[in-house]
Every structure is written in structure tokens, then in C-alpha cells.
Amino acid sequence: MGPVLGAVIPLMLLTPFIIWMFVKWNRNPEGAVALRTRSDTWSTPGTPNEVLTRIIDRARDRRAFVEFRSDHAADMGIGSQTMFRLWGFLTPSLSIPTRFRIAVRPLDEWQTEVSVEAQSDPGWYAADNRLVDRIYARAFTAILGMLREASKASASTSP
């Protein structure tokens, strides 16, 4: 056996143990990762249906998927658990696995209130530490900013 193969075989044998220890030390006792949440509320011009449609269209342009939609609410998700596990902190903000619920309600004839609740969705046995907290803080800021920008009416649709 050459020197390279002699070093690779023990490493291959130890890899499952190393992964098991990393998972064991970086999770809470129940095995599930602690969920991180953030919410935001703002008002924007337009009817609730127009505003919700603008938000969903922009989110779909960013590869979000719609799980549920009604006249005044939508449940959506964005990102990939697999990509997050492979790339970790190098994952782009809008690709961090996140679920969000959007609710709209009319304030008056031309104003709508938008409420968004974002929740982390890293999957089971993902790392749970301060670095992940910062990654999700960055993701929530990017997602909520994108949704806030999408909810604004263009000059042609404002009253």
C-alpha cells in the first residue's frame, strides 16, 4: 500500500464517527433543530389581491414555491436543505431553506397591510449554533426585503 492509500483508508473508516459526533454535539436533545423566526408588518398601496399577486410573482422569480394560497394569505417556501447542508455559510441568502406565511388585509380602499412570518427550515440533524443563527438572520433580512420591495406598487398601478 502506498502512503496516500494508507492515510485515506483510516480516514474513510473514521468519517461516519466524525459525522455522528458533529451531529450529536450540534443538536438539541429532541433531535430537531431549533427553529428561528422573524416577522414583519408594513402597509402598501393596492388591493389585497393585487399586493399578494405581486409578492407571489416576485418570489416565484426567485425560485420560491407556493404551498397554499387563498384570497388573503399564502404559505411559501424558498431554498434547499440539501444546498444548505453542502455549502453551509456559502449558501446565498435567498437559497437558505426558509418557510414563510404572508397575510394581507385591507386598511382602506387603496391601502393594504402585509404581515409576513418567516421560519427556518434546515431539516433534521442540521447544525445548530451561532453561525447558523447569523446565516438565518442574513437570510431573513434578504427575504423580507425582497417581499417588501415586491409589495410596492409600480407607478402604473397606483391610484
Reduce the secondary structure of 54-81 to three states and give it as a string: HHHHHHHHCCCEEEEECCCEEEEEECCH
- 7-25 per-position pLDDT tens digit: 666 666 666 666 655 555 4
Q: Give the CATH number of domain 33-151; options: 3.40.50.10800, 3.30.310.80, 3.20.20.70, 2.60.40.640.
A: 3.30.310.80
Here the cell at position 69 is: 394560497
Here the cell at position 134 is: 447569523
Q: What is the pLDDT of residue 60?
A: 92
- Sequence ranges of the domains in the chain: 33-151
Q: In which band, very low, low, confident or very high, does the pLDDT at 32 lie, cut at 50, 70 and 90?
A: low
Determine the Cα–Cα distance for residues 6 and 32; give it in Å rounded to an integer: 37
141 and 118 Cβ atoms separated by less than 8 Å: no
What's the whole-model pTM score?
Answer: 0.71
